[in-house]
């Protein structure tokens, strides 16, 4: 039998006869209404209304179970409509984890899961998670699932926040082998479909799983194949990477245009190639669509190429600001430990404002001895940067730096490094040609 208790968490089930006329707040047990369970209604969390929704239904369920199951052994299940989507999964985990540790069989785990689920159902407490677990139990009862499969399906259903991470992790194992040339694209696609079918076979889904399913359907129809198909699935499984990769590819052209290294028309042609490459993978985002609109305006001849490039650049900067905000906890930029004589370009360096915290180049000022080699690392995602001797408004920069001790990294893509050995003592200012608010200095003693 299951003894269902309310929000107070007590293991005491009050005797119905003893409560008659004592103010339980249930009409069939008396008319008084100032007592809610074992406390005054004024002291009960949520008051009388919450009490009637939680404790009363649970108490009635206890009486029903007791009358049907007699004096059999009792398992205490605390049932409450308060935080049901936290408490219910936590109660299921007791049995699921015992099964995962081989302390009980799958069948025994399911018996415990059923007891808990029935307690909530009988107390008329439900949620999407409770209903979802009920659906999986029905699939077990009708023979669709074996016991072990049912436990795994219930585990994922009860913890939907873990579905996408587990799905992404399983896909990544396959995709990374392909990226390392350990398996072919065809073998990768077979592995990807096996992972996908495994989750679908558990009747588990999410927006991400559906997006990958759409790509698999395109593969089956012949619209995607080979390495393109693997890349399309990779981006669909990690949508947070779509904009950074798109921006990184676009910036290769836009920054060259800004530095007068590429004509406007060639820049636009490169942007169109990048956009077409991504849309050919059936991958999109708000930024991809915005750039597509600007490309259509350019193709129509209704605006100058220079203004279209400006609009695309503005759209990119807006997205970069949003991405940077998401990377910081409590408004603070992340700082990592660096080897000696190393300067980092941290996440967010490409967005104005990093200079206020001295986090465009970190550390902003570095002192070294003559003969020391300094290493710069670009940790700013897919955003390219430069390390260029001089000052934003200087006439002589890079290799033309006064004194003949200049340096210039040229474009540094995300993850790239640049080294320079300082032989001559002095003060060396430097900045990023692409983001002139990024300024640093090296003092050589």
Assess whether pLDDT exceeds 60 at residue 331: no
Q: In what order do the strands lie in the sheet with 342-345?
A: 342-345, 372-378, 417-422
> For position 343, what pLDDT does the model report?
96
Q: Is the pLDDT of residue 53 over 90?
A: no
User: Lowest-confidence range among 271-275, 292-296, 355-359?
Assistant: 355-359
pLDDT tier for residue 311 given thresholds of 50, 70 and 90: very high
Which pLDDT band, with edges at 50, 70 and 90, does 340 fall under?
very high
* Per-residue confidence (pLDDT) for residue 54, from 0 to 100: 54
Please state, in angstroms and rounded to a whole number, the distance separating the CA atoms of residues 209 and 325: 27
Q: Radius of gyration over alpha carbons of the chain, in Å?
A: 31
**Token pair for residue 345?**
């370009």
In this predicted structure, what is the pLDDT of residue 281?
Answer: 95
CA torsion sign for 212, 213, 214, 215 is positive
Task: Identify which has the larger pLDDT, 220 or 70.
Answer: 220
pLDDT band per the 50, 70, 90 thresholds, residue 73: very low
Which range is most confident: 73-87, 91-105, 248-262?
Answer: 91-105
- Three-state secondary structure of the chain: CEEEECCCCCCCCCCHHHHCCCCCCCHHHCCCCCEECCEEHHHCCCHHHHHHHHHHHHHHHHHHHHHHHCCCCCEEEECCCCCHHHHHHHHHHHHHHHHHCCCCCHHHHHHHHHHHHHHHHHCCCCCHHHHHHHHHHHHHHCCCCCHHHHHHHHHHHHCHHHHHHHHHHHHHHHHHHHHCCCCCHHHHHHHHHHHHHHHHHCCCCCHHHHHHHHHHHHHHCCCCCHHHHHHHHHHHHCHHHHHHHHHHHHHHHHHHHHCCCCCHHHHHHHHHHHHHHHHCCCCCCHHHHHHHHHHHHHHHCCCCHHHHHHHHHHHHHHHHHHHHHHHCECCECCCCCCCCCEEEECCCCCCCCHHHHCCCCECCEEEECCCEEEEEEECCCCCCECCEECCCCCCCCHHHCCCCCCCECCCECCCCEEEEEECCCEEEEEECCCCCCCEEEEEEC
* Segment 254-277, tens digit of pLDDT: 988 988 889 999 999 999 999 999
What are 389's strand-pairing partners?
Answer: 430
- pLDDT at residue 82, rounded to an integer: 79
Question: Where is pLDDT greater, at 39 or 368?
Answer: 368
Name 251's Cβ contacts closer than 8 Å, sequence gap at least 6.
316, 382, 383, 384, 434
Quote the CA–CA distance of 58 and 125 in Å, as a whole number: 9
Residue 138 scores a pLDDT above 70: yes
Residue 242 has pLDDT above 50, yes or no: yes
pLDDT value at residue 355? 83
Q: Which residues pair with 3 in a beta bridge?
A: 76
What confidence category does residue 59 fall into, taking pLDDT thresholds of 50, 70 and 90? very low
What are the distances in angstroms from CA 136 to CA 111, 139, 182, 386? Answer: 13, 5, 37, 55
Token representation of residue 247:
């921006």
| Nearest Cα residue to 212 out of 229, 187, 188, 190 | 229
Residues 181-194, mean pLDDT to the nearest whole number: 95
* Mean pLDDT score, 141-164: 95
Residue 154 buriedness (CB in 10 A; 0-12 / 13-18 / 19+): buried
Q: Output 298-307 pairs: Cβ under 8 A, ≥24 positions apart.
A: 298/268, 305/264, 305/265, 305/267, 305/268, 306/264
Return the structure tokens found at 368.
């070294």
pLDDT tens string 388-438: 999 887 878 888 887 778 899 988 887 889 999 999 998 999 999 888 889
Is residue 70 over pLDDT 60? no
How confident is residue 334, by pLDDT bands cut at 50, 70 and 90? Answer: low
What confidence category does residue 180 fall into, taking pLDDT thresholds of 50, 70 and 90?
A: confident
Asked whether residue 383 carries a pLDDT value surpassing 70, the answer given is: yes
- Specify the pLDDT at position 37: 45
Task: Find out whether 255 and 432 touch, Cβ atoms under 8 Å.
Answer: no
Q: What is the pLDDT of residue 342?
A: 95
Q: Are strands 417-422 and 75-78 parallel, antiparallel or unpaired?
A: unpaired
Answer whether residue 57 shows pLDDT above 50. Answer: no
Residue 436: what pLDDT? Answer: 85
Q: What is the mean pLDDT of residues 356-367?
A: 89
């Amino acid at each position: 039998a299951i003894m269902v208790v309310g929000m107070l968490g007590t293991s005491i089930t009050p005797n119905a006869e003893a409560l008659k006329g004592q103010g339980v707040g249930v009409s069939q047990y008396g008319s008084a209404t100032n007592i809610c369970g074992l406390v005054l209604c004024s002291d009960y969390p949520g008051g009388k209304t919450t009490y009637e929704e939680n404790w009363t239904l649970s108490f009635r369920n206890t009486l029903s179970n007791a009358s049907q199951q007699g004096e059999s052994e009792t398992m205490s299940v605390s049932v409450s409509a308060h935080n049901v989507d936290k408490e219910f999964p936590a109660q299921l985990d007791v049995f699921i984890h015992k099964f995962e540790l081989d302390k009980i069989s799958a069948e025994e785990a399911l018996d415990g899961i059923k007891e808990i689920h029935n307690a909530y159902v009988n107390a008329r407490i439900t949620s999407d998670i409770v209903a979802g677990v009920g659906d999986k139990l029905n699939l077990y009862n009708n023979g669709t699932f074996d016991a072990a499969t049912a436990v795994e399906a219930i585990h994922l259903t009860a913890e939907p926040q873990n579905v996408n991470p587990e799905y992404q992790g399983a896909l990544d194992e396959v995709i990374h082998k392909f990226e390392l040339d350990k398996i072919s694209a065809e073998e990768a696609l077979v592995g990807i479909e096996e992972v996908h079918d495994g989750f679908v076979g558990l009747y588990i889904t999410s927006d991400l799983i559906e997006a990958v399913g759409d790509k698999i359907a395109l593969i089956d129809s012949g619209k995607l194949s080979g390495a393109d198909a693997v890349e399309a699935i990779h981006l669909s499984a990690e949508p947070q990477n779509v904009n950074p990769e798109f921006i990184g590819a676009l910036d290769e052209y836009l920054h060259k245009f800004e530095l007068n290294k590429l004509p406007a028309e060639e820049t636009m042609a490169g942007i169109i190639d990048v956009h077409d490459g991504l849309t050919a993978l059936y991958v999109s985002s708000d930024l991809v669509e915005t750039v597509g609109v600007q490309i259509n305006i350019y193709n129509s001849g209704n605006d100058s190429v220079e203004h279209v490039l400006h609009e695309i650049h503005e759209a990119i900067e807006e997205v970069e600001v949003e991405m940077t905000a998401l990377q910081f906890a409590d408004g603070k930029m992340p700082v990592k430990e660096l080897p000696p004589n190393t300067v980092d370009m941290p996440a967010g360096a490409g967005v104005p404002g990093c200079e206020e915290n001295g986090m465009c180049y970190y550390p902003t000022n570095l002192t070294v001895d003559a003969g020391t080699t300094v290493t710069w690392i670009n940790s700013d995602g897919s955003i390219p940067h430069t390390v260029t001797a001089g000052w934003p408004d200087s006439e002589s920069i890079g290799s033309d730096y006064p004194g003949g001790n200049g340096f210039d990294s040229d474009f540094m893509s995300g993850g790239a490094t640049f080294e320079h050995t300082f032989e001559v003592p002095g003060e060396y200012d430097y900045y990023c040609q692409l983001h002139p608010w990024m300024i640093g200095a090296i003092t050589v003693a």
